[in-house]
Amino acid sequence: MHTIRPTRLEIDLDAICSNYRALRAAAGGSPALAVVKADAYGHGAVPVARALRAAGADMFAVALIEEGIELREAGIEAPILMLGATDGPGALAAAEYGITEVVFTRDALLALEGAAKSLGVHAKAHLKIDTGMNRIGVRTEEELRDLLEAARLCPHVEITGAMTHCAAADDPESDFTLEQLERFDRMLAVAAEYGLRPERHAAASAAAVRYPQARYDRIRAGIALYGFDPMHTLPLRPAMRLVTRVSHVKRIAPGETVSYGRRFCAQRETDIATLPIGYADGYRRAFSCRAQALVHGVRVPVVGSVCMDQIMLDVTGLSVRPGDEAVLLGRQGGEEITSEELAGLAETIPYEIMTGISARVPRVYPGQEGGEADG
């Protein structure tokens, strides 16, 4: 995408690599699978994967087969694990592109076997064990034994890993993670009965820090890569900066209102700056009359309802002109607006703020050759 409009998402790849190293250090140097699903949490999967590969990441995770194919077609040759469920066509694509599939049903395993056999290749799979998340995965020892019996009939599929996911690792008041790890260990013992010694992984960012026993053979570096620490203990750097430029400035009189629904009424002469960004870009309508932006290094309020393509700021007293930079997420001068701050206003989590910035906002990579996302 050509960057013509001034609204853009600046991504600091050096920060992501620094965060990768910080998480690994906090996890005792454990090998780390880098999670780049959902377009690397909105940061751009291909540029992020390339940067992390150069920083030493030797394995990646995606949620969808299409995400794995995107990495393969971009030249990423490292192992790729697809975390989500798939169907027959997905199994065929996984075998074709050498993407490791998670399996937890006999049907899925047999579909992968059939796909690999038809292509004349050997596919890889990780067992997905459900220890309490109750999304996908094998729930009981009986189910696991049934799956492993089926695996004996699948010479074209190699089970190379086993995984589970913790539901409450970031909750300091909960011991549920310990219960989950006990269940996972019992299921691993069943796998051992069948001669399997797969690579084991259970810990995403929070569990990797809080529970050393959850690190097993590898941790999964997800949200921490992008600068958010669920435990607030790591020296992480946010990697995302949402910026635009003022498109218009006007002065309104006391009693005049701004935007749909007339939710803001000026109590004095007020300078209003308009920015070319709105909820179609992922800047949520929930931020109306609540969020702040940075202009000239100063926090200023968002006034009136957020529109589909534009928002307005009260910049009274700042001598703002069209073309001046405005920051909606990230740092300007000594001030910073964080994803956690915006998540609080929208009553959600930082993950949703990061992944919610729409594809029509160009991702740019300052300091990188070309400066823009591929494609």
**Residue 22 in contact with residue 235, Cβ under 8 Å?**
yes
Tokens at residue 290, please? 């609540």
Neighbours of 54 (CB within 10 A): 10
Note the pLDDT of residue 172: 87
Note the pLDDT of residue 169: 93
* Cα 127 from Cα 164, distance rounded (Å): 9
Q: Which of 41, 117, 250, 260 is catalytic?
A: 260
Neighbours of 135 (CB within 10 A): 10
Tokens at residue 55, please? 């920083």
Neighbours of 235 (CB within 10 A): 10
Q: Model pTM?
A: 0.94
Place of tokens 């009359």: 289
Q: Which of 20, 37, 41, 279 is catalytic?
A: 37
Note the pLDDT of residue 371: 60
* Cα 242 from Cα 8, distance rounded (Å): 6
Angle at Cα 161 formed by Cα 93 and Cα 92, nearest 5°?
A: 10
Helices 88-97 + 106-119 axis angle, to 10: 50
Q: Specify whether 37 is catalytic.
A: yes
Count how many residues are written for the chain. 375
Tokens at residue 357, please? 């910035």
* Cα 77 from Cα 72, distance rounded (Å): 6
Report which of 146, 104, 152, 99 is spatially closest to residue 128, judged by C-alpha positions: 104
pLDDT per position in the chain (375 positions), as tens?
466 899 999 999 999 999 999 999 999 999 999 999 999 999 999 999 999 999 999 999 999 999 999 999 999 999 999 999 999 999 999 999 999 999 999 999 999 999 999 999 999 999 999 999 999 999 999 999 999 999 999 999 999 999 999 999 999 889 999 999 999 999 999 999 999 999 999 999 999 999 999 999 999 999 999 999 988 899 999 999 999 999 999 999 999 999 999 999 999 999 999 999 999 999 999 999 999 999 999 999 999 999 999 999 999 999 999 999 999 999 999 999 999 999 999 999 999 999 999 999 999 999 775 566 643
